[in-house]
């Protein structure tokens, strides 16, 4: 199995910054895409940012210019630098990875973290 563990969430004032981290562990052969999604109670889970293994990024329009996604392939870790935070950014953020497990070579599967809370006060 593959596990994703997020960290770095918390409470900040509007205009402040946070840096989220997500480390993948387990029997991993390779990870292709990684990303961050967010979901408030009663709402759909929405894309925040994604990044390919080669470093190509994609952002939601609502976070362009404020958030930056990056990854360290040697550490199987993805990051989300969040600047100029707004109260509207308040919700639970989930880490995502598409990976091939060592025991099932040739099979790609989707994996999700447990989520980390981000709260931005006005």
pLDDT tens readout for residues 13-39: 999 999 999 999 999 999 999 999 999
pLDDT band at 42 (very low <50, low <70, confident <90, very high): confident
What's the 3-state SS for 32-62?
Answer: EEEEEEEECCCCCCEEEEEECCCCCEEECCC
Q: What is the CA radius of gyration of the chain?
A: 14
In whole numbers, what is the pLDDT of the chain averaged over residues? 96
Going along the chain, which residue ranges are E strands? 2-7, 10-13, 18-26, 28-39, 46-51, 57-59, 67-72, 77-82, 91-101, 108-112, 116-121
pLDDT for the residue numbered 40: 84
Burial class of residue 63 (count of CB atoms within 10 Å of its CB; 0-12, 13-18, 19+): buried
Collapsing DSSP to helix, strand or coil, 75 comes out as helix
- Region 48-52 average pLDDT: 98
pLDDT band at 12 (very low <50, low <70, confident <90, very high): very high
Which residues, other chains included, contact 74 with Cβ-Cβ below 8 Å and sequence gap of 6+? none
- Region 85-99 average pLDDT: 97
pLDDT band at 1 (very low <50, low <70, confident <90, very high): confident
């Amino acid at each position: 199995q593959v596990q994703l563990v997020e960290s770095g969430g918390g409470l900040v004032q509007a205009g402040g910054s946070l840096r989220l981290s997500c480390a993948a562990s387990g029997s991993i052969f390779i990870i292709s895409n990684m990303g961050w999604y967010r979901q408030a109670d009663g709402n759909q889970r929405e894309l925040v940012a994604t990044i390919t293994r080669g470093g190509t990024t994609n952002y939601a329009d609502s976070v362009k210019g404020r958030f930056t996604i990056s990854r360290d392939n040697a550490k199987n870790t993805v990051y989300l630098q969040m600047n100029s935070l707004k109260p509207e950014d308040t919700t639970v953020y989930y880490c995502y990875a598409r990976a091939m497990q060592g025991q099932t070579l040739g099979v790609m599967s989707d994996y999700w973290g447990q989520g980390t809370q981000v709260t931005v006060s006005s």
